[in-house]
Structure 1
Amino acid sequence: MHTPCNALVVPARLAHPVHVKAVELDVAALQRVANGDIGIIAGVDWHVYLDSEGNRVAAPNLRAEVLIREAGIKVEETLRGAALFLGRGSDGEEADAPRHLIRLAEQLFDLPLAA
């Protein structure tokens, strides 16, 4: 889990842009993203790390909720804080965020994300 991956980062604050970023993944890095305990929501070939406790101090992440819903997963509660989307490799390891998820984010948020 220490290999860098290209993650789709969806900040909670609307003033901060959605972007693709190379990240080194370890438990400490994921806890910094989640501001505490790490939660996971999984799709078919992707998953997203976020705050598992719905930290009431963190801003709601409406863009992550929309992206997850549009990717086919029903969201039951308000998501808060930053969201880090990654792909799932064939061996179950972390992988780059899938291109289809990045394209969906580009369409939803009218942003060019890929190089």
Structure 2
Amino acid sequence: MHTPCNALVVPARLAHPVHIKAVELDTTTLQRVANGEVGVIAGRAWHVYLDSEANRMAAQNLRAEVLIRETGINVEETLHGTALFLGHGCSGEEADVPRHLIRLAEQLFDMPLAA
């Protein structure tokens, strides 16, 4: 059984809000988020799961691109579909999304995400 983690969910469609969601991660869950093969982009204290196939049928995820770039990571490819941000835990385990990433998303997208 996997322990749920609080993830920052950044949907591709602008009509869907960026939000925090408790998720139990396993391969099936990640493939559902990515709509196929799962890719990872890693930062210092976080990583994001997304569609590695850059499925052109999925909407471009401009908000995820902006958030990743604002952390100092250069994204060379266009991102598509939902992005799921998490933190790095001990021994390579998943952890809650770091608070500083939540604050950055709140500032960038002008929306409160956490209580």
**Length-normalised TM-score, structure 2:** 0.98
Task: Could you tell me which runs of 5 or more consecutive residues in structure 2 were left unpaired when the two chains were aligned.
Answer: none
Displacement of 1:17 in angstroms is 0.1
Corresponding residue for residue 97 of structure 1: 97
CA distance, structure 1, for counterparts of residue 57 and residue 89 of structure 2: 33
Corresponding residue for residue 3 of structure 1: 3
| Aligned residue runs from structure 1 range 6-85, under 5 A | 6-85=6-85
State the SS of the aligned residue for 1:32. helix
State the SS of the aligned residue for 1:91. helix
Count of aligned residue pairs for this structure pair: 115
State the SS of the aligned residue for 1:86. strand
CA distance, structure 2, for counterparts of residue 56 and residue 62 of structure 1: 14
Displacement of 1:2 in angstroms is 1.4
CA distance, structure 1, for counterparts of residue 2 and residue 37 of structure 2: 19
| Deviation >4 Å, runs of 4+ | none
State the SS of the aligned residue for 1:57. coil
Task: Could you tell me which runs of 5 or more consecutive residues in structure 1 were left unpaired when the two chains were aligned.
Answer: none
88-97 vs 21-30, greater mean Cα deviation: 88-97
CA distance, structure 1, for counterparts of residue 109 and residue 38 of structure 2: 25
Amino acid at match of 2:69: R
CA RMSD between the two structures: 0.9
